């Protein structure tokens, strides 16, 4: 039986990874600090089902403090934990991003080397591309983060590659592009859109609304993680994980209105520091090396997310 460690196990993506690992028969150790970045009740509800499974062991602890003997029998680490959000990563909050995105990753990598973990899958981010010189981006392009958050995600990704190159630790970094779907964080655009539709409250639109995003359904991201945990690849691999189609914020708002059958009020706000004008990725490397490609179209994924919003009311 494979033993998988999932960090950030109560979060949006991490909780789905836990469920997928349990569904395929793994023993799963879940670690989550359960910070108050957003509603801790939502986080705990994400893992209610997993906690009823006798193959799931849960620890509510900071990675920087957790007992490292947890890794003694672990085969694969799915490192989903981190401090999210571009807009909050400035000024005096930057220390939190360094501790949770960089220091925690380095500690986990060291422990993985010492305990002979077979594969380390890291949740990286499209934020490290910043405002790219051309689109769609591929993994060979020079990273140029446009926010402190992006800087910390890039630093942690570099650490993964360094531990692969220096110690032979088999690491795979997955660069996620705008993940959406059930259990999404409340600070993310799609969540806010559907809640605005249901509550009749304004949706905060930063900037012109012409920003383009490459949206990726959470189920596709989870599948990429499981494939990355098993694929025969060289240590230090970096891979884009993207939905494959760009959509502007104006188009997303229109889609959310169609899916919900409700009109959405817009509260127009100034652009936020750190927000890029566009994202979009080539996923040829994921297709070739992981045998992965996106399967869920944006409208279908939005319908699934909207059903989740309705189920919580």
Catalytic residue, from 78, 97, 122, 149: name it.
149
Catalytic (active site) residue 97: no
Are 201 and 150 contacting, i.e. CB atoms less than 8 angstroms apart?
no
Q: What is the DSSP string of 57-108?
A: EEE---TTTS-GGGGTT-SEEEE------STT-SGGGHHHHIIIIIIHHHHH
Are 159 and 101 contacting, i.e. CB atoms less than 8 angstroms apart?
no
Question: What is the 8-class DSSP label of residue 295?
Answer: -
To which residue do tokens 């003997």 refer?
69
Are 255 and 180 contacting, i.e. CB atoms less than 8 angstroms apart?
no
The residues annotated as belonging to the active site are: 149
């Amino acid at each position: 039986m494979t033993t998988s460690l999932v960090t950030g196990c109560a979060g949006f993506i991490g909780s789905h990874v836990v469920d997928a690992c349990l569904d395929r028969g793994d023993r799963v150790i879940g670690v989550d600090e359960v910070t108050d970045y957003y509603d801790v009740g939502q986080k705990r509800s994400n893992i209610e089902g997993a906690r009823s499974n006798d193959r799931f062991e849960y620890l509510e602890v900071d990675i920087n403090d957790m007992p490292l003997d947890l890794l003694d029998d672990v085969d694969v680490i799915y490192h989903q934990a981190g401090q999210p959000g571009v807009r909050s990563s400035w000024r005096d909050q930057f220390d939190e991003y360094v501790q949770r995105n960089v220091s925690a990753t380095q500690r986990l990598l060291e422990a993985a080397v010492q305990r002979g973990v077979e594969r380390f899958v890291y949740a990286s981010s499209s934020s490290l591309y910043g405002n790219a010189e051309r689109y769609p981006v591929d993994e060979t392009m020079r990273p140029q983060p446009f926010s402190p958050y992006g800087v910390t995600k890039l630093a942690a990704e570099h650490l993964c590659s360094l531990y692969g190159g220096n110690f032979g630790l088999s690491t795979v970094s997955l660069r996620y592009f705008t993940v959406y779907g059930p259990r999404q964080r409340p600070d993310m655009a799609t969540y806010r859109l559907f809640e605005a539709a249901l509550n009749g409250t304004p949706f905060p639109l930063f900037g012109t609304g012409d920003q383009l995003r490459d949206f990726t359904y959470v189920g596709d991201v989870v599948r990429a993680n499981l494939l990355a945990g098993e694929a025969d690849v060289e240590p230090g691999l970096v891979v884009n994980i993207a939905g494959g189609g760009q959509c502007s914020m104006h188009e997303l708002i229109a889609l959310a209105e169609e899916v919900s059958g409700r009109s959405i009020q817009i509260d127009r706000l100034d652009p936020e520091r750190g927000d890029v004008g566009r994202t979009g990725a080539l996923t040829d490397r994921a297709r070739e090396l992981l045998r992965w490609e996106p399967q869920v179209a944006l409208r279908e994924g939005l319908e699934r997310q909207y059903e989740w919003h309705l189920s919580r009311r």
